[in-house]
């Protein structure tokens, strides 16, 4: 077994000092509590009667998936402080988190029971084993005996059989057994493999009605078949979550390569400390105490669930083909500049093209650009950064074809993309085997910028083309993440892209760029100077305004700079989807700051940064799209990119989008000074519907469905 890698004493000391400082800073909202508030807003989507029924199930699944990530990535810090620094300021945080999280899961369970009733009225019945007819039980028992029973292995614990390793997020049954004529109890664990469907259809009718039962119920209903002649005293479904934040050697000197280091880290995670135990009632004290002892956990780590053990399993029900119970599909449009039957390089060479996905089709813009570069015999070289891509790897397969055809192909594959490490290691090996030049990133930094670059021979000259975006090169997530990108052939930008790749692949010391703003060298200082300039403009009586749209705002220095700008009269609008540690609307401190969050049918993912810069016409202000959120990690520990939008037509579109997000008639969640949020219920139009209508009116050619 791999040795468990816990944070070093030095790391723990840093964590305690940092956490104490943050806990004492009453001017900023706690980061983790802010993230939990976001997950609460996601849960509210599942409870919203205006959202179609099956979509509400999907939001329950998203909610639980988000909570899983919260515990895997963040909970170990609060847990360590709670257990090791009793009475400290930071202990209060855990005392707030535990009941808040429990209340969210209780609410989710209540909503699932409510949705079961409503889905039943629509002919979709989610049942318990006891609710099945005898015929249905016979059918499911046959499925169990033929397909499930041969695969499962009960593991009982005694002197010769130690307590088994429990994998993170794996569903299990904890079983209390008793031998006949004996008072001694035996613990047994039955792991439920992930490759089985989580729900089975036990019957259906010609009219479309269907009846479903969970895999856990099927197994529990047939549990005696594993333990003939033994008494089953209690059964308790459970699962655990382990910490995945395993400390790595940041300079990589322990390992022969970054690839080796990341591969080992992925293996080490299997043995991360347990930070959460979830179980379904009825609670059995003997089983629960045994699990807590063996897993080395405490009361603060234990969460009783209701209705279901794993809400992400509801994805199986969501797949039911009932279009009337899902969001209406929106036809995507092709960006107007690309909608004519022209060579895409000709289109880009004429002007910069601003893209906004999924309102404008990813496949007819970004994918077409990459495929054109792969297939065009005049393209000499292709360079890309790959952070997350889809499992099918359509873009990666295209790059492999390009390398096999003799093109120079360079790929930065970020092995440290959280939760995607194994996928990226696989693709990196395939790209390298095909002859691509593969770089694994920079030790100590995570490469998070999104860039695709092509060098093309045109007559006797060489011309470069680039795509710079806010989102990943992933054709699947591009359908339900909102992101912006820029296609450009401008020499000042493409020369910067060349320098950027030389920094990433050749470790050049380039730190100044003509147009692009790059982290970790420039980005934080750029934001601080831009905010300071808006404050100076306000003092001088010039027009001043800041609009920021991103996923998270947490960097302490940026928050302090925004407070100072607000205090001299700068109007600041922040559209922050998730974590936001700033407190808006506080007298003197932040009276000119407004914060809203948009949670809609698609995940808001674009990062937009606007500074009015003293201009009377707001469209003349400075506009940027970027890969970075305003978090310490993005600004100092990652390779990130901010791209200016300078084409006048693109700037008008960009500002139109900001106006939609800030329109008084758009549905948002408005942040209160205490860090809670209030839904603007009187507002009637979802922002994404308004943006779809905007692009539908602006563009002419429709292609495909979302």
Q: Is the CB of residue 235 less than 8 Å from the CB of residue 260?
A: no
Of 93, 75, 82, nearest in space to 24 by CA: 93
For residue 634, give Cα distances in angstroms to 259, 521, 631: 22, 11, 5
Rounded to the nearest angstrom, the gap between the alpha carbon of residue 347 and the centroid of all alpha carbons in its chain is 33
* Distance from C-alpha of 561 to C-alpha of 528, rounded to nearest angstrom: 7
What is the distance between the alpha carbons of residues 414 and 445, in angstroms, rounded to a whole number? 10
- The helix/strand/coil state of 436 is coil
Among 44, 58, 43, CA closest to 119: 58
Q: In whole angstroms, what separates CA 258 from the centre of its chain?
A: 24
Per the document, the length of the chain is 706
- Is residue 519 a contact partner of residue 446, using CB atoms and an 8 Å limit? no
Collect all residues with Cβ–Cβ distance below 8 Å to 617 and sequence separation of at least 6.
Answer: none
Q: How many angstroms from the chain centroid is the CA of residue 591?
A: 31
Q: Which two tokens stand for residue 405?
A: 């055809």
Beta pairing, strands 379-386 & 545-550: unpaired
Q: In what order do the strands lie in the sheet with 199-204?
A: 124-127, 210-214, 199-204
Which residue do the tokens 């849960």 mark?
A: 43
* Annotated active-site residue in 448, 467, 556, 605: 448
Number of H helices, E strands in the chain: 20, 31
Q: Identify the sign of the CA torsion 73, 76, 81, 86.
A: positive
Element containing residue 551 per DSSP (H, E): none
Output Rg (C-alpha) for the chain, integer angstroms.
Answer: 27
Instruction: Report CA-CA distances (Å) from 181 to 155, 230, 231, 558, 698.
Output: 22, 10, 10, 69, 79
332 neighbors 359 (Cβ within 8 angstroms): yes
* Angle at CA of residue 340, ends 336 and 341, nearest 5°: 150
Q: In 3D, which of 218, 219, 221, 201 has the Cα closest to residue 210? A: 201
Assess whether 652 carries a catalytic annotation: no
**Cα–Cα distance measured from residue 381 to residue 436, given in angstroms and rounded to the nearest whole number:** 11
Distance (Å) of CA 587 to CA 534, 541, 580, 590, 593: 20, 22, 18, 6, 11
- Enumerate the active-site residues: 448
């Amino acid at each position: 077994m791999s040795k468990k890698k816990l944070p070093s004493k030095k790391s723990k000391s840093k964590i305690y000092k940092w956490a104490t400082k943050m806990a004492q800073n009453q001017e900023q909202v706690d980061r983790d509590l802010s993230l939990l508030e976001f997950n609460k807003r996601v849960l509210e989507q599942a409870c919203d009667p205006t959202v179609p029924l099956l979509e509400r199930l999907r939001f329950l699944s998203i909610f639980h998936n988000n909570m899983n990530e919260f515990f895997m990535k963040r909970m170990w810090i609060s847990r360590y402080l709670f257990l090791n620094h009793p009475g400290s300021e930071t202990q209060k945080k855990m005392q707030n988190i535990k009941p808040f999280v429990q209340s969210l899961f209780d609410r989710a369970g209540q909503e699932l029971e409510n949705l079961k009733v409503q889905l039943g009225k629509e002919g979709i019945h989610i049942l318990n084993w006891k609710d099945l007819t005898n015929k249905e039980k016979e059918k499911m028992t046959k499925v169990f005996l033929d397909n499930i029973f041969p695969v499962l292995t009960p593991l009982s614990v005694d002197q010769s059989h130690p307590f088994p390793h429990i994998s993170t997020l794996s569903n299990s049954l904890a079983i209390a057994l008793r031998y006949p004529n004996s008072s001694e109890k035996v613990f047994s664990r039955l792991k439920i493999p992930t490759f089985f469907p989580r729900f089975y259809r036990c019957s259906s009718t010609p009219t479309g009605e269907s009846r479903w039962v969970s895999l856990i119920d099927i197994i529990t209903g047939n549990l005696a078949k594993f333990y003939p002649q033994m008494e089953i005293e209690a059964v308790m479904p459970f699962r655990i979550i382990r910490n995945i934040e395993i400390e790595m050697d940041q300079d990589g000197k322990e390992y022969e390569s970054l690839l080796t280091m990341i591969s080992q880290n992925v293996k080490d995670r299997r043995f991360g400390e347990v930070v959460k135990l979830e179980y379904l009632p009825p609670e059995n004290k003997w089983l629960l105490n045994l699990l807590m002892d063996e897993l080395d956990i405490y009361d603060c780590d234990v969460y009783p669930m209701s209705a279901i053990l794993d809400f992400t399993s509801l994805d199986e029900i969501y797949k039911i083909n009932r279009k009337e119970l899902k969001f209406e599909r929106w036809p995507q449009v092709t960006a107007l500049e690309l909608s004519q039957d022209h060579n895409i390089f000709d289109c880009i060479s004429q002007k910069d093209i601003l893209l906004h996905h999924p309102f404008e089709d990813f496949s007819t813009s970004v994918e077409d650009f990459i495929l054109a570069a792969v297939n065009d015999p005049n393209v000499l070289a292709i360079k890309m950064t790959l952070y997350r891509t889809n499992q099918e790897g359509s873009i990666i397969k295209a790059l492999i074809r390009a390398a096999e055809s003799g093109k120079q192909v360079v790929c930065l594959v970020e092995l440290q993309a959280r939760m995607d490490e194994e996928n990226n290691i696989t693709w990196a090996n395939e790209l390298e085997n095909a002859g691509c030049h593969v770089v694994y990133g920079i030790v100590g930094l995570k490469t998070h910028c999104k860039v695709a670059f092509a060098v093309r021979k045109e007559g006797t000259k060489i011309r470069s083309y680039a795509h710079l975006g806010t989102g990943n090169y992933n054709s699947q997530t591009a359908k339900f993440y909102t992101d912006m990108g820029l296609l450009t052939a401008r020499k000042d930008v493409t020369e910067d892209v060349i320098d950027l790749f030389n920094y990433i692949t050749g470790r050049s010391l380039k730190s100044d760029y003509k147009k692009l703003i790059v982290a970790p060298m420039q980005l934080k200082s750029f934001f601080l100077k831009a905010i300071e300039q808006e404050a100076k403009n306000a003092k001088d009586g010039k027009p001043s305004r800041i609009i920021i749209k991103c996923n998270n705002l947490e960097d302490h220095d940026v928050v302090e700079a925004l407070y100072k700008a607000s205090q001299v009269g700068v109007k600041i609008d922040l559209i922050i989807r998730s974590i936001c540690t700033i407190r808006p609307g506080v007298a003197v401190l932040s009276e000119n700051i407004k914060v809203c969050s948009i949670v809609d049918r698609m995940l808001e993912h674009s990062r937009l940064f606007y500074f009015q810069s003293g201009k009377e016409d707001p469209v003349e202000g400075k506009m940027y799209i970027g890969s970075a959120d305003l978090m310490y990690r993005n600004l100092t520990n990652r390779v990130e990119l901010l791209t200016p939008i300078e084409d006048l037509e693109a700037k008008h579109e960009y500002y139109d989008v900001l106006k939609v997000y800030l329109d008084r008639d758009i549905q948002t969640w408005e942040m209160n000074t205490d860090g809670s949020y209030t839904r603007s219920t009187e507002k009637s139009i979802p922002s994404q519907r308004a943006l779809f209508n905007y692009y539908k009116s602006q563009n002419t050619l429709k292609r495909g469905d979302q």
